[in-house]
Structure 1
Amino acid sequence: MEINFYILRHGETVYNTEKRMQGWSDSPLTEKGEKKASQLGESLKNFRFDAVFTSDLGRAVKTSELIMEKNHYPAPFFTEQGLREWGLGSLEGTVSYVSVITAALDRCKDSSNTRNFLENFAISARERDASKKAETYEKARDRIMSTMKGAAFTAEKNSWKDILVVTHGMAILTILNEITGDDMAGKVIPNLTLLKIVYKDGYFSYEGEHPAPLA
């Protein structure tokens, strides 16, 4: 059975406009973020999602609600801690993500460093985290991918074909890194970007950015 996962980053938040790291802290959607999410929902209103899996953080939940309230086909909601953004400890809400990205890219330039960009990002964040609670890349990866596999198992069990997943920028980069092997150096997933991933025979494959409305 082939399952289509439509992976969506939440709408724009206040912290996004201020370039602050969010992690597990929450920041409300801006007026623009809500409006754009509703517009995306309108463009998707005739597409039947069999289920919606969303991060339990408020910005993702609100985005999924704004999209699905426009949809003509009710779908069950699953709110998942495992789809949260990377946990970033004391950096959340206080530090610009630009400084951590820059530090990670500098690490990648070191020829003796064999780690990928996301691993270096995690190391750079943990070095700056006074609370020592920021997740390692491995911990975030295992949490996110385990949740994705659990969603695939639930979809298979219920014969669901089309699933909407609402999550976060670094979480999406982690999924893409694991599927494609691309280290995602310096890449950013814009708010409300919709990507398609297919699950078949126990494996995920990436099909690229998917423009709305879906066909």
Structure 2
Amino acid sequence: MKYTIYLLRHGQTWFNKYNRMQGWSDTPLTPEGVAVAQKAAQKLQDVAFDAAFSSDARRAIDTCEIITAANCNQANLQPTKLTNFREQFYGYFEGMFSDEAWYLTLFPHGYKTFNAAGQQVGLDQTKDWMKEADPFNDAENATEYWDRLQAGFNYLDEIAFDGAKILLVSHGTTIKSLAERFGNGSFKITKGPANSSLTTLVRDNGQNVVTDYAQVLA
């Protein structure tokens, strides 16, 4: 069985605007975030999605509803929440100014920024280091993170069919992590995907391949 997942990042939120850590915490879409999601919806309106999912974060749910409301197959779509495709959980660092959180996490290992560390050691290592730096040990490490996502893909395998087109509204670091792991080195992943940008992932008999990364639709 082979099907395509249309991975869309949610629209801009207030924490995005203020550059704060936003994993399992949540803030609403800004007016600009609604507008950019509406533009993406127009670009995707002729893609007849067979199913539509989002994480359970309000920002993803709202974006998914905007996309499906404009879709040519809207009458047959029922947006559904999947907790498996939440953003990475940042634990103690949730809500903190992003540059500060990553500096505290990465400086003991010789890095000052998330992008620099990601390029040098990979995103999974930054996940492990953040859990290590969390005084409560609540942040997800790479193993916890990928186990959660794999359970989500297993569920999609159960409901998908050959040739299906599935909309999945998720989050920046999650989409970036998927592109790093399953992009076969095809993409220069220096920054996260823009709000409401599109990444496509083909799942072929249980194997993932990211075929396009962070296509800007607005």
- Superimposed CA distance per residue, residues 145-173 of structure 1 (whole angstroms, 9 cap, x where no aligned partner): 220232133103xx561011110111112
- Superimposed CA distance per residue, residues 110-145 of structure 1 (whole angstroms, 9 cap, x where no aligned partner): xxxxx9421231133224423321111110111112
Work out whether 1:178 is the aligned partner of 2:181.
yes
Q: Which residue of 2 aligns with 1:77?
A: 79
2:11, 2:36 within 8 Å by CA — same for their partners in 1?
yes
Q: How does 1:48-197 map to 2 (within 5 A)?
A: 48-74=48-74, 75-97=77-99, 99-100=101-102, 104=106, 107=109, 116-156=121-161, 159=162, 161-180=164-183, 182=185, 186-197=190-201
Change (3 A) 1:103 1:187: farther
* Whole-angstrom distance in 2 between the partners of 1:210 and 1:174: 12
- Superimposed CA distance per residue, residues 156-197 of structure 1 (whole angstroms, 9 cap, x where no aligned partner): 3xx561011110111112222332365987432221110111
* Whole-angstrom distance in 1 between the partners of 2:128 and 2:190: 15
- Superimposed CA distance per residue, residues 57-110 of structure 1 (whole angstroms, 9 cap, x where no aligned partner): 11100110111111231213221110101111121112324651795498487x
List runs of 5+ in structure 2 lacking aligned partners. 112-119
% identity of equivalent residues: 28
* Whole-angstrom distance in 2 between the partners of 1:105 and 1:47: 44
* Whole-angstrom distance in 1 between the partners of 2:182 and 2:110: 20
Q: Which residue of 2 aligns with 1:13?
A: 13
**In structure 2, what residue type is equivalent to 1:134?**
A
* Whole-angstrom distance in 1 between the partners of 2:5 and 2:163: 10
List runs of 5+ in structure 1 lacking aligned partners. 110-114
2:64, 2:79 within 8 Å by CA — same for their partners in 1?
no
* Whole-angstrom distance in 2 between the partners of 1:212 and 1:85: 20
**In structure 1, what residue type is equivalent to 2:174?**
A
Work out whether 1:199 is the aligned partner of 2:214.
no
Compare 29-38 and 199-208 and name the one that shifted more.
199-208
Change (3 A) 1:106 1:6: farther
> Shift of the alpha carbon at 1:206?
1.6
**SS of equivalent residue, structure 1 residue 164:** strand
* Whole-angstrom distance in 2 between the partners of 1:198 and 1:125: 30
Compare 99-108 and 26-35 and name the one that shifted more.
99-108
**In structure 2, what residue type is equivalent to 1:155?**
A
**SS of equivalent residue, structure 1 residue 119:** helix
1:86, 1:135 within 8 Å by CA — same for their partners in 2?
yes
Aligned length: 206
Q: Which residue of 2 aligns with 1:112?
A: none
Change (3 A) 1:108 1:78: farther
Change (3 A) 1:99 1:65: same
* Whole-angstrom distance in 1 between the partners of 2:150 and 2:99: 23
**TM-score for both structures, normalised by structure 2:** 0.82
* Whole-angstrom distance in 2 between the partners of 1:203 and 1:108: 35
* Whole-angstrom distance in 1 between the partners of 2:159 and 2:51: 10
